[in-house]
Every structure is written in C-alpha cells, then in structure tokens.
Homo-oligomer: A and B are copies of this chain.
Amino acid sequence: MAFKQGLEQKLEQIQNKKMAQKQTISIKVAGAAGQGVESGGQGISKALRRGGLHLFGVSDYMSLIKGGHNFFQITLSNEAVYAHTEKFHLFISFDPQNVEDTLSHIRELHEGAGFIVDADTALKPEITATLQEVGANLFAMPLSKLAADLGGSKIMMNTVALGGVAGLMKLPFEKLEGVIRENFGKKSNEIAEKNIAVAKAGYEYAIQNYASQFKFSLPYNLQMGDKMLINGNEAIAMGSYTAGCRFISAYPMTPGTSVFEWFTKRNAQLGVVTKHTEDEIAALCMAIGAAQAGARSMTTTSGGGFCLMVEALGLAGMTEVPVVVVNAMRGGPSTGLPTRTEQADLLFAINASHGEFPKIVLTPGTIEQCYDAGVRAHNLAEKYQVPVIILTDQLLAGQVRDTDLSAFYTPEIDRGKFISKEQLDKLEGEYLRFAFTEDGVSPRALQGHPKTVHAPATDEHDETGHITETADNRIKMMNKRMHKLEVARSEMKGPEFYGPENADLTMIVWGSTYGAAREAVDLFNRDEKNKEKINLLHFYEVWPFPTKAAEEALKKTKFTISVEQNYTSQFARLLKVETSHDVKVKINKYDGRPLAPEEICVHVQNVLKQAQLATA
C-alpha cells in the first residue's frame, strides 16, 4: 500500500485528539548537501538533549555530495521517543530558494509552527502564501547579518539559526554554548568563541522577537543526567568491539560504512586491525582469514556488497569459521535508492549462498539492540562456529536517540568450545577440528600449535578436515553442521510485545520498524475511543527462527497485521512458513522513506474499520 493517498484527512482527526501525558515538539533543519544540515542538526540535538529532553533524530539525504536537498528531523519529548513525526513545529531552512522542497516541508507544519529563514532571502510568494494557509509563522531572522557582524563571516549563519532554535525552545543558553565549544574548540578557541557569540545573538533575537508567537514548549527535566546520542551503526561497532572484535575489513558502501569508520578512526587507540579492501569479496575473505587464525572478525556493507559476499559466507559456513557480517539495508534493487531505507534483504540474507549450512541472523530494532546485537553476534558466531549476519538498515544506522549509558553493558566474552594454548599443551591424542559431538559443535583449537596441525577444506571433509566424498561421512557432517542450527534456535530471543495486553490488533514488526510502530501504539491508544486497541510484537532475532516463543506470543494476539518497509512482506512470509500463522493484513512501504507513526495509525484505523465491517 502506498502512503499519503487521500489519508491526510484521517490523519488530522487522529492528531487533533488530545494526547494525554506525552508531548512532542518536532523540528526540521533543511538545506542542500554541504550546507551543514547534518552537523547543525546533530549540534542542536545534543544541546536540547542535554537540557533534559528525550530526543529522536534522523536525517534524510540524497545520493550526492553537494547540492540537492537534505534534512534532519528532531523529535523532542518529555517521554522516551522512538520515531520521527510527519508533522512538525519548527522549520529551519538554509535553502528556501528551493521552492518545491520547501513547500512540501511547510505543508507538514502544525498550525502555529515557526519557519526560520535568513531575513536577507527574498522568499517566493508561494512560500509566504502557503505559510499563511497552514497558519505557520515566518521567523525571518537576520542570520547572515548577525553572523557577519558578530562572527566576521556569513558562514556562521547556521550557528545563528541554532541559537534561534534554542531561544524559541527556551533552552538554557549554556547547553548550546557547551556543545559549540566542544565542536569548534578542537579547531581553535577563537572560532569557538565567535560561534558562541553569534549563537547568543540568534538566541536573544529569537526570544525578543518571536517567543510570544511560538506557543509550543516542553518541560526540561534537569534530573535526566547523561545520555548518549549514538547512532545504530556506532552502537553495533561499539558492541562488537567490547565483545572482543579485533579485526574488521570492509569496503565502503552506504549505509554500512560507518560501522567500519567507527573502527578505522580509533584503530590505533583500540588496537584493532582495520583493512579497507579492494572489494567486498576481499572484505569478507580477509575477515574469514583472520577469524580462521583466531581473531574475532567482522565486515560491514550494504545489499550490493552483501551480494558479493555470499560465496564466502558459504566458505565460513562449511569450514565453521565464526565471522560477523553487517548488512545495512537500503533501497533496492541494485543501486536503487542508495541513501534511503528499506527492509528488503531479509529472505535473501537467510537463504544466502548455495547449499545448506547454519547461519544466524539478528535484526535489531533500537540503538540498545544494536549494541546487544554487536555483542551477541560475536559470541554466537564463536559459540556455534557459524557466520552471523546483523541485518540493520539506513533508518537505524543513522538515527540517534537518547540512550542510557548502562544499556551499553560490559559483555561476557563467550568463546564456546575454545581450546586454549594451555589446554592444548596437555592434550593427548589427535586433535580433530571437526569432531562429531552431541551438539554439532566441535572443540576449536587454533592453528599454530604443534598439536593442532590441520587443514580444513571447503569440499566436504572428514573430522580432520581432509577432503572426502564418501556418502556416510557426508551425511554425518551435514547432520552435524545443521544440528548446530537447532541448538542455537533454543537461545534465539523471542519476540517482544509493546503496548497493552489483549489488544484488538497486533502489529507484527521486525528490525527498525519497531520505532515507528511503538510510537503508533502510543499515539493510537491515546485516543480515548481506542484505549488498548493496538499493540505490537517485535522480532529482533530471526534466524534460526525462535518458533516456540513466536507461537506462544502469537497465541496472545487476536488480529495481526504485518508492517514492513518492503514490497513482498518478507517477514510475514517467514512467519507463515515457521509458525503457520497468516497475518490478516499486510502494510508495506517501499518508497525509501521511513514509516511515520501517524501514517501507521491511519493504516491501522482503516484495517480496523474494514475488519469490523467484515465481521458485522
């Protein structure tokens, strides 16, 4: 189902209901690539967060380096917040002359919202007209003038604008000041101070001139304390590192690259070998080589690069080498929408590579789960001696949300049946790399010790690793390898509910869709009529499929719909084959833009209406 088709009206109805406790303010910073949208958005986010607000931030960008049109969206709240919103309250544009995009943003402004632009810009009449139409205020601030006068350069007009935002949001100025000092202080103190001066000017200008017109506000929670604003990819990287990952080889591909760059930037500090390879084939092959040697290893990519890795994935499966692959999905097929989000690689990842071998697929949905997935991926990989895929996506890779430091726990490193050097010294008898065992997992000793000489083959092999084609051995080895999948299945985490028990309708979601669906649960149920109407069931460890837990959970549902960012409802298909459960309705979005909670609510309302009609 495509979105935004005659749904605006219903959307309004939902939004106009009073939302009891949870209040949100949404801000959008827009401009051309290279104009500082991303850094500005991140900066003001940090300041507002430190003020004591919950915050969700995500950027929308085109596949180009300069020009075009990007934006950064911030949702602020007095409660935890997990997604962007469709409508927003404050809009800062650095390229208001881009009429088409500007208008489309303005149309999404709430009544009473504000639009900050440089007073020097001569706005096109359509823009002012539309502003009036939606009932939003024009805050034409002297951005470039203040920047030039006080900072000595128009370049600082972004900072003036951020000051304006802080002013309208009534954020204590020292919060913004702190962030600016941290960000620019590295370059030079002078630059930092100039930026602070212009920010302050913007701050005061906004308070004096517009505060009375901007009626939205949130209570700052001064007790909130430290929270991280870290994105999904950084969380995966940090989880991997804390779980002992010491080798990462990769080839750049949006949106997988930032996992790699987290390591490259810190390679000396962390003692991690990072290798930018010539392609994705080499990326995974090197990681496998390092893993065979004994290092916890990983690679990261996106769909197209993952395609090139599937042969080597089978190598890892066949020779039982623990290795972690991050596939950060983006809009496909092929080059597709390189900077946009999608969840369309699920069945490809699960079935990737020819032949059959065990692999594990994790699909985290939040920043915390990204960290956890990083940790678990490396532990599970080594415990079961299998490749583990972390399937994330552009939306999760780049989003930030105020995150507890404690969620990034100190992991236990579980190396499974790893035989240490000391144990080897005492070993009697021949070491069999692929010994048949009850759980299919063979004790793993590294090459480099006089007692462990062996040479695994990607051909079918016997317990020593030597090539053999006999039918008997083949059957035993297949059983051994595939049995690991069954053992691992029992420790895959089952799905989790969010929202009221006994809801009339349960949304089945996986991966990053959790965020928007969770907000939709809150938004929808907050309407008095809808109290406890909907909840969600979120899957975040999907292969081997946690069938039992899924079946238990499904028993607690009445009417299920799947909500996925893809065309073919891949998760619903998987659920069907694994549990025989047929979701009643499938909601799909595949335009590369992340689902918004309001949008989901509209779908849900339609579904409920139709379902009631159908049973009437």
Q: Is A459 an interface residue (CB 8 A)?
A: yes
Q: Chain A: how many interface residues by the 8 Å CB criterion?
A: 65
Among the listed B281, B314, B474, B582, which residue makes an inter-chain contact with A590, where contact means beta carbons less than 8 Å apart?
B474
A482 contacts chain B at the CB level, 8 A cutoff: yes
A422 contacts partner chain B, Cβ-Cβ < 8 Å: no
Binds B, one of A141-149, A337-345, A515-523: A337-345
CA distance A355 to B393 in the complex (A): 12
The verdict on A308 contacting chain B, using a C-beta distance below 8 Å, is: yes
Given A62-B469, A345-B355, A573-B577, A474 contacting B337 (CB threshold 8 A): yes
A335 within 8 A of B: yes
Partner of A567, one of B332, B469, B471, B478: B478
B566 touches A356 (CB 8 A): yes
Interface flags for A473-495 (1: CB within 8 Å of B; 0: not) read 01100110010000000000000
Contact between A592 and B469 (Cβ–Cβ < 8 Å)?
yes
- A:384-440 near B, CB below 8 Å: none
Q: Which residues of B contact A353 (CB under 8 A)?
A: 303, 307, 332-334, 348
Per a CB cutoff under 8 Å, which of B308, B333, B479 touches A356? B333
Q: Do residues A317 and B304 form an inter-chain contact, with CB atoms below 8 A?
A: no
Indicate whether A178 reaches chain B with its CB closer than 8 angstroms: no
Which residue of the partner chain B has the closest CB to A472? B591
Contact of A347 among B351, B357, B591 (CB under 8 A): B351
A329 at the interface (CB under 8 A from B): yes
Interface CB pairs A-B, < 8 A, 26: A2-B475, A303-B354, A306-B354, A307-B311, A310-B310, A311-B334, A314-B334, A317-B333, A318-B335, A329-B354, A331-B460, A332-B353, A333-B354, A334-B357, A335-B458, A336-B458, A336-B459, A336-B460, A344-B355, A347-B347, A350-B351, A469-B592, A471-B592, A471-B593, A482-B567, A576-B576
Hey, which bits of chain A sit against chain B, CB under 8 A?
Answer: 2, 62-63, 281, 302-304, 306-308, 310-311, 314-315, 317-319, 327, 329, 331-338, 340, 342, 344-345, 347-348, 350-357, 457-460, 469, 471-472, 474-475, 478-479, 482, 566-568, 573, 576-577, 580, 582, 590-593
A318-B332, A318-B336 known; 4 other A-B pairs, CB under 8 Å?
A308-B308, A333-B355, A334-B458, A348-B351
- Which 7 A-B pairs give the minimum distances between C-beta atoms? A332-B355, A303-B354, A333-B355, A307-B311, A318-B334, A334-B458, A335-B458
